[in-house]
Structure 1
Amino acid sequence: MHLLELQCRDKLDFKYDINIEENILNLNIDDYLDLAVRNNKKRRFLFVSKCLGKHLPCKVVDMDNLGYDIVRAYEKRQDYLSSGLVISFAETGTALGHSVFNYINADYEFVHTTREIVENKKSLDFLEEHSHATNHNLYYEDLKRFENGEEVVLVDDEITTGNTCINLIRKINSIYPKKRYTICSILNWMDCEAFDRFKALEEEIGAKINFVYLFAGDFKFECDEDKIEKLISESEKESRIFTKNNDFKVSYIYLDMKKYEKNEKYIKYTGRFGINKQDQIALLDEVKRESKKIDIKDGEKILFLGSEEFMYIPMLFAKQFDGKNIYYHSTTRSPIVDLDIEPYPIKSKFPHSSLYNRGVQNYVYNIDKYNYEKCFFFCEINKQKSDFNEIINIISNTGIKELNIVICNK
């Protein structure tokens, strides 16, 4: 019986057991994951990564090392083919897939799926059936390797049933058949039945399907649905009482990042519409140049906060200040139950409207728990200053003394 089960029983009454059967790089699983309960009846649990830079803050090197480690595991498993395409899943996997692409030593391109709807762009759309946001779009028309590459590498933080990958592989293969598909993840929880579905898919499409992961095994999760629903209902009725920081300061930093020429609302180098290795080199140069606009003093505890799918580029900016006391994570669509007890990982949540799609609820977790002095909040698209009022209100009601809103597409 887990300590987490014992201390959460009165509030949530859930328990889980994890059994790791494969650990190709001999890593410590406790350094990589926690488990939380989410407001989604289709899948009640959520493995919360300590290193992914999404729901929980992490050191930048830990996040970037995930991509590096997955590539190491890939190279232990198989050789590269002549060319290929890395695809990562929005929103949690966007930065992870971009990091994998960065470390892959071959002629591959990168694109991530997106929940953004972009007019006049060819999209391969598919479903992530268990998600809180099921629809994905894959904008592929600017990609060369989508058509003529030999391999597609799919990257996500976790694979449980594999159904999302099956949906996408079938879609891709119906247009541009591939020699090999490789599914990369931090965690792989697929059972024998799930692997059998992929064996059947291999025969159906006439292509090899391989799996690369840092950890593989199985887990059991049990919960009391009535208690969880009651806690969620009570939480939604609560009125959060803030103590506003009267010395709070807000500043704006405008970065000159290259725009995507076919739709200048977005940045070229995010990977939403595809990038190649030359683009990646240009991105690293841009970040190095523009990071000079960010001033950080020695000894300050700083949070770099990305927004939704916009994760990798904020992480690169944080990486420019390696050696300083920098933490990094992102806002998210994932609705997680918060409970301020140890050792439950999600202790506080702050809901706000998406800056990209106003009708969509977003959250930032635990931002009041780490005693940051400054926060650099990154937004990909140019917005009016008034659009940031919700974010400003959230940050001003923590112990953070200074918020710098970094707009990456002026």
Structure 2
Amino acid sequence: MSLLKLRDKHDLDFKYNINLRENILNLNIDDYLDLAIRNNKKRRFLFVSKTLGKHLPCNASDMDSLGKYIVEVYEKKYNYLNCGVVISFAETGTALGHSVFNYINGNFEFIHTTRETVEGKKTLDFLEEHSHATNHNLYYDDLKYLKNGEEVILVDDEITTGNTCVNLIKKINELYPKKRYTICSILNWMDEEAFYKFKKLEKELNTEINFVYLFSGSFTFDCDEDKVENIIAQSGNKGKVSFKNNGLKVSYISLDMDKYPQNNKYLKYTGRFGIDKKNQEDLLSIVKEECFKLNIKDGEKTLFLGSEEFMYIPMLFAKQFKEKEIYYHSTTRSPIVHLDVEGYPIKSKFIHHSLYNEGVVNYVYNIDKYNYDKCFFFCELNKDKFDFAEIINIISNTNIKELNIVTFR
């Protein structure tokens, strides 16, 4: 299958071509991705997922199904080993990996990498070389199956060169050699040279490295760098907004959920420090109990908006309201060029400072394009009300009439 996509309107010239090698579940790739331009010269393009719940709004069940599909492919190809750990990559892959962990039938723990710096916690630090934010931490010390398990499953939305996985596999294997590593993704764009790199690594580490994906293939991408740079320069900081008095009603909701015992700044169930299957059962139960505190009337078009790495738990809450018109996605660190033209996925951009890390800029895309009535904004950390001023300003620049800021106690 070959897909040729051209974008040549309003001075944003780029084109890309996808050639699919494998589509194991016979899914329609057009339902899952589009392509946008990044404000990052190291890697100019970004495959924007339509169902991952990051940059674009989606149905929460569609996002959760991605994990289910990956597990389905895994079980078609491999038998489970004795026990192991599922590791997903921050920030875009955090919810995807957690979903894989939820549906996997083996004896696994789950953890995701994080950009958070936590004092007093032992970490594996490694690099994601092409990223806008290259440093990752893996606070692994509370995991028993990383030490004595047989398999590590790495989960990300997309694998292109595999270099990030190589970096992490080497780090893990220095401490706790594994019988098998399995790299799972929605998209796998690795070429023969990249696959050979892993074959070589298998021999070096005396291990097995396998791949699971929904789509694999190759692509070509080309853009006019001068025109892209000109558009970026013209857009500047247009995403910064001031408050518009449009009658926005702002409420604060506090939900009951256990905090991490060694550092109650963070929730216990995100996977930042590792969780097991019993923790996951507890999380699903708590979400069902607490969702009744979120009031949605019939006919209200509602957005559930996560924040940065905090994606999976907001998705679970959104998934509870199956009879309502619910959309779900998250804020992001990823800088994407926005252009409001037909056929281009990222039409608007709003900028705010991170609620988690001082000096870090975040973005929320297309929030003014769907005529939502209500928004639930989820923040893992307990912050003062004035810390949410920029979020309130953003929402006031949309048609949303009611903003509920959701935190946890």
Regarding TM over 0.5, the answer is yes
Aligned counterparts of 1:249 and 1:31: Cα–Cα separation in 2? 35
Structure 2 residue identity aligned to 1:384: D
Aligned counterparts of 1:6 and 1:357: Cα–Cα separation in 2? 35
Alignment pair present for 1:95 and 2:95: yes
In structure 2, the residue matched to 1:82 is: 82
Matches within 5 A, 1:9-20: 10-20=10-20
In structure 2, the residue matched to 1:397 is: 397
SS in 2 for 1:268: coil
In structure 1, the residue matched to 2:41 is: 41
SS in 2 for 1:141: coil
SS in 1 for 2:156: strand
In structure 2, the residue matched to 1:123 is: 123
Q: CA deviation at 1:4?
A: 5.4
In structure 1, the residue matched to 2:50 is: 50
Tell me the C-alpha RMSD between the 2 structures: 1.4
In structure 1, the residue matched to 2:317 is: 317
Aligned counterparts of 2:131 and 2:350: Cα–Cα separation in 1? 20
> Is the contact made by 2:126 and 2:168 (CA closer than 8 Å) also made in structure 1?
yes
Aligned counterparts of 1:270 and 1:379: Cα–Cα separation in 2? 12
Q: CA deviation at 1:258?
A: 0.1
Aligned counterparts of 2:221 and 2:164: Cα–Cα separation in 1? 21
Deviations 1:291-313 (A, max 9, x none): 11110111110000000000000
Matches within 5 A, 1:232-381: 232-236=232-236, 238=238, 244-381=244-381
Change (3 A) 1:220 1:4: closer
In structure 2, the residue matched to 1:5 is: 6
Q: CA deviation at 1:106?
A: 1.2
> Is the contact made by 1:245 and 1:398 (CA closer than 8 Å) also made in structure 2?
no
Structure 2 residue identity aligned to 1:22: E
Comparing 282-291 with 195-204, greater Cα deviation is found at: 282-291
Structure 2 residue identity aligned to 1:325: E
Aligned counterparts of 1:294 and 1:242: Cα–Cα separation in 2? 27
Structure 2 residue identity aligned to 1:247: G
> Is the contact made by 1:128 and 1:136 (CA closer than 8 Å) also made in structure 2?
yes
> Is the contact made by 2:93 and 2:155 (CA closer than 8 Å) also made in structure 1?
yes
Q: CA deviation at 1:11?
A: 1.8
In structure 1, the residue matched to 2:385 is: 385
Comparing 262-271 with 245-254, greater Cα deviation is found at: 245-254
In structure 2, the residue matched to 1:216 is: 216
Aligned counterparts of 2:5 and 2:201: Cα–Cα separation in 1? 39
SS in 2 for 1:181: strand
> Is the contact made by 2:4 and 2:18 (CA closer than 8 Å) also made in structure 1?
no
> Is the contact made by 2:373 and 2:400 (CA closer than 8 Å) also made in structure 1?
yes
In structure 1, the residue matched to 2:191 is: 191
Aligned counterparts of 2:109 and 2:364: Cα–Cα separation in 1? 31
Deviations 1:298-340 (A, max 9, x none): 1110000000000000000111111210000000000000000
Structure 2 residue identity aligned to 1:346: I
Aligned counterparts of 2:230 and 2:391: Cα–Cα separation in 1? 28
Q: CA deviation at 1:5?
A: 2.2
Aligned counterparts of 1:363 and 1:253: Cα–Cα separation in 2? 23
Structure 2 residue identity aligned to 1:188: N
> Is the contact made by 2:3 and 2:19 (CA closer than 8 Å) also made in structure 1?
no
SS in 1 for 2:236: helix
Q: CA deviation at 1:395?
A: 0.3
Deviations 1:169-189 (A, max 9, x none): 000000000000000000000
Structure 2 residue identity aligned to 1:17: N
The normalised TM-score by structure 1 is 0.97
Runs (4+) of structure 1 moved beyond 3 Å? 1-4, 237-243
SS in 2 for 1:68: helix
Q: Which runs of 5+ in 1 are unaligned?
A: none
Aligned counterparts of 1:309 and 1:407: Cα–Cα separation in 2? 15
Aligned counterparts of 1:322 and 1:66: Cα–Cα separation in 2? 18
Aligned counterparts of 1:331 and 1:237: Cα–Cα separation in 2? 17
The normalised TM-score by structure 2 is 0.98
Aligned counterparts of 2:190 and 2:75: Cα–Cα separation in 1? 21
SS in 1 for 2:399: coil
Q: CA deviation at 1:246?
A: 2.3
In structure 2, the residue matched to 1:25 is: 25
Structure 2 residue identity aligned to 1:398: T
Q: CA deviation at 1:399?
A: 0.4
In structure 2, the residue matched to 1:169 is: 169
How many residues in Structure 1 have an aligned counterpart in Structure 2? Answer: 408
| Identity percentage of aligned residues | 73
Q: CA deviation at 1:359?
A: 0.5
Deviations 1:85-132 (A, max 9, x none): 000000000000000000000110000000000000000000000000
Comparing 239-248 with 25-34, greater Cα deviation is found at: 239-248
Structure 1 residue identity aligned to 2:6: E
Q: CA deviation at 1:13?
A: 1.1
> Is the contact made by 1:54 and 1:331 (CA closer than 8 Å) also made in structure 2?
yes
Matches within 5 A, 1:105-116: 105-116=105-116
Q: CA deviation at 1:240?
A: 6.5
